[in-house]
Amino acid sequence: MSDTDFSALKLNSDLLKNLSSLGYKSMTTIQELSLPLILAGEDVIGQGKTGSGKTAAFGLGLLQKLDTSVFKAQAIVLCPTRELAGQVAVEIRKLARAVNNIKVLELCGGTPLAPQINSLAHGAHIIIGTPGRIEEHLRKDSLQLANIKTLVLDEADRMLDMGFKDTIESIVAKIPTKRQTLLFSATYPAGIALIAENIMQNPTMVEASAIEEKLSIKQYFHLVNGFDERLTALRLLLAKHCPNSALVFCNTKIDTQNVADELANYGFYALAIHGDLDQRQRDQALIRFANGSANVLVATDVAARGLDITDLDMVINFNLAHDFDVHTHRIGRTGRAGKSGVTCTFFGDKETHKLAAFDIDLESAEPLPNDNYLDKALKKPLMTTLKIDGGKKQKLRPGDIVGGLTGKSGIPFDKIGKINISSNWSFVAIETELVKTALQKIQTDKLKGKNFRVRILS
């Protein structure tokens, strides 16, 4: 048995059996460094990029000490965005599925308050949410934190960037001082050190090795000026590399939408995600990108938080990040879990001083691909997303959708991709070559004995 095996840890047998069933055998670097400390009850500061496995690290720690017989909130996880909170909740529910009667509750903005208050009245063991909504529940006295044993600040650097410092402090003031505090962050700016000093007890800091990350990510820098030049450069790079999934970062919401619109006009399967979109638009864009039915996502830094894409092939910085920590976080979205990735960064003549501040050698700038790539046929996504007008409230489950699609005259099981079910809608990814068959199957047959409207999400 290796020291990096989960079985080497002092976890309860149900958690270990579940990890084995999930195929989790060897710990990632951040898990190997932090989990023994977390299980020993210490306060821990963990520094590692998105995708390093930190959610499983703190998730296993809080599940290990949970007392399911006490139906009160015993752990709280603060996240910067609703999207990230949702991803954390999914992962913790997955880790906890072998333990009976654990209730995980999400409390985030962008959704009605009343149903959350009703859910809180029935109790929950683990609370996962955004600082603003958590604070709102505390003001209304609908959330009690007197029994919290574990406090987790996930992506703490982003929460500070978004102005949540005072909100976090007001929430922490409501939590017992006798607790374990876990703080995870991709970067470690001065503000993190200050907040750690104020809310943690003799924390141990662990940092996932950056050596493997540097080896797995190939970086290119391209000197281009102005929007039009950058757009042409972007088209050339996407055409040359043909990524299955590429994340393009812009610094403003206006540029984000304009870039996505222009790419779509040129025939790319590109989507935008930024703060001016409503929650439904953001959710559906993330679903299409995550399930492979769109291969380019153009985003602002804040909107891209919580994006859970296991195999992100490429990151392109359409605009140079304002500071090095943000640049580091951006490029860390690819090359995850030891896989290789490519990043391309555009910079203008007036931004050379910023690259120098990032300790990037200007002589490393690369020429752009040949213009002939603009005539190359564009890569189409492998999958297409279907939207079904039925969800949890209609008691529709993934098994119902799979069964409806694979029945008589249906499609093979292995042609079905990710399934997402919300309150009133469901989304299923189908291999594009069979999407017409899938549409017809749902339109002519029934799911759970009912007819549901279905259409291609575009």
Token pair of 174 as six digits: 């409501």
Give the DSSP letter of residue 250. -
Average pLDDT of span 142-146 = 96
Token pair of 342 as six digits: 């490519």
Taking residue 281's Cβ as centre, other Cβ atoms within 10 Å add up to: 14
Give the position of tokens 């359409």.
318
Output the pLDDT for position 409: 77
Quickly state the pLDDT bin for 445 (edges 50, 70, 90): confident
Output the pLDDT for position 310: 60
Q: Residue 65 in 3-state DSSP?
A: coil
The whole-angstrom separation of Cα 446 and Cα 405 is: 10
User: So where are the chain's domains?
Assistant: 6-207, 211-375, 383-456
**Which is higher by pLDDT, 209 or 9?**
9
**Which is higher by pLDDT, 450 or 52?**
450
Output the pLDDT for position 1: 43
Work out the percent of the chain whose per-residue pLDDT is above 70: 93
Output the pLDDT for position 49: 67
The whole-angstrom separation of Cα 238 and Cα 226 is: 18
The whole-angstrom separation of Cα 435 and Cα 217 is: 35
Q: 341-347 and 217-223: which strand pairing?
A: parallel
163 pLDDT above the threshold of 80: no
The whole-angstrom separation of Cα 42 and Cα 48 is: 18
Token pair of 363 as six digits: 């002589």
The whole-angstrom separation of Cα 331 and Cα 333 is: 5
Contacts of 13 (CB under 8 A, 6+ apart): none
Nearest to 416 by CA among 396, 403, 402, 437: 402
Give the DSSP letter of residue 49. -
The whole-angstrom separation of Cα 308 and Cα 225 is: 32
Amino acid present at 201: Q
325 pLDDT above the threshold of 90: no
209 pLDDT above the threshold of 60: no
Identical fold between 6-207 and 383-456: no
Output the pLDDT for position 105: 96
Q: What is the mean pLDDT of the chain?
A: 87
307 pLDDT above the threshold of 80: no
Lowest mean pLDDT among 40-49, 136-145, 187-196, 301-310: 301-310
Q: What is the DSSP annotation of 308-373?
A: --TT--EEEESS--SSHHHHHHHHTTSSGGG--EEEEEEE-GGGHHHHHHTT--GGGB-PPPPGGG
Q: Residue 309: how many CA atoms within 13 Å on its side-chain side?
A: 30
The whole-angstrom separation of Cα 29 and Cα 118 is: 40
Q: Residue 436: how many CA atoms within 13 Å on its side-chain side?
A: 1
Work out the percent of the chain whose per-residue pLDDT is above 90: 49
Q: Residue 237 in 3-state DSSP?
A: helix
Quickly state the pLDDT bin for 337 (edges 50, 70, 90): low
The pTM of this model reads 0.63
For residue range 370-415, list pLDDT tens digits in order: 999 998 888 889 899 999 999 988 988 888 888 889 877 788 888 9
Could you tell me if 438 and 376 are in contact, meaning their C-beta atoms sit under 8 angstroms apart? no
**Domain 383-456 is of which CATH architecture?**
2-Layer Sandwich (3.30)
Token pair of 23 as six digits: 């195929």
For residue range 70-100, list pLDDT tens digits in order: 999 999 999 988 888 988 999 999 999 888 8
Report residue 61: phi and psi, to 5°: -65, -45
Q: Residue 378 in 3-state DSSP?
A: coil
**Which is higher by pLDDT, 257 or 414?**
257
Nearest to 328 by CA among 136, 49, 90, 71: 49
Output the pLDDT for position 213: 47
CATH T-level assignment (fold) for domain 6-207: Rossmann fold (3.40.50)
Amino acid present at 61: G
**Which is higher by pLDDT, 42 or 331?**
42
Output the pLDDT for position 448: 80
**Domain 211-375 is of which CATH architecture?**
3-Layer(aba) Sandwich (3.40)
Output the pLDDT for position 446: 80
Nearest to 443 by CA among 404, 393, 398: 404
304 pLDDT above the threshold of 70: no
